Amino acid sequence: MRGHYFVGYERRRVRAALAGRRISRTLHDVILRHMVRGRRVYFSGVDHEQLVGVYRSDPLESFVHNGESFLPDGRRYLIPDELDRLRSNRFFRVDESSIVRIGPEKILGTVHYVAVHSVGENVRTVLENADRRLRRPSSPHRAVRTIVTLARDLLSIHPFIDGNGRTVRLLADHLLSCRGLPPCLYPNELDLLMTEDEAYHFTLRGMCAYVDEMEKAVTAGTTGTLGRTGSGGRGAAGRY
């Protein structure tokens, strides 16, 4: 469970269940211990259908980030490059008083996501700025860069309790499609640790990879309606 895509979400569900007195402190500790040790966890404290797409508004959802790497005792740590990149992201706040270097490449510390009360305001500002840029006549390159920046900003703000990454990436795919451009073939799991320029070039490679895969499928005759996507995508890829 430790490396599972939804481990953070499941951990918050367990903590919410404890806060709501639906489980005991003992059960809470046992479940979290199993997660840290990588064991399978069965927990049904909250109905997923009630949370998908729900705006982040619970004080329990004041997220913090402590790094992507783990110490033997289960604690997370940041590496120097990760911390530097999070510092450069305007939507994160590093708690400088929490920073403790425990090795050449290991730093204990806490990085805060956007505060709950300002999530809505930040999302509105980001969407309005992107909409204004996308309405102006521009090249495909500039449109892609604007969409990549929009997605990265929304992922940083993390407005949704569950399905945040999927929702934001679906929006980005839709905006690309509206402009006759292919989506990125694979999700960028390092969005928040990339510079805007790195994320932009990652997306371009993913868009070209999508076109390549569609053309292979069309040539092999393994797809029906995707033929139009493949043939239309060649022109889009050629502009890169």
Helix (H, G, I), strand (E, B) or coil at 93: strand
Distance of alpha carbon 199 from its chain centroid, rounded? 12
Sheet with 93-103, strands from edge to edge, namely: 64-65, 106-112, 93-103
pLDDT of the chain along its 240 residues, tens only?
344 445 566 677 777 778 878 778 888 888 888 777 766 555 555 444 455 455 666 655 567 888 888 898 888 999 999 999 999 999 999 999 999 999 999 999 999 988 888 888 999 999 999 999 999 988 999 999 999 999 999 999 888 766 778 888 889 999 999 999 999 888 777 778 888 899 999 999 999 999 998 888 888 876 544 433 333 343 443 444
Q: Identify the CA nearest to 99 among candidates 130, 132, 128, 77.
A: 77
Whether the full predicted model's pTM is greater than 0.75, yes or no, is no
- State both tokens at 206: 């993913």
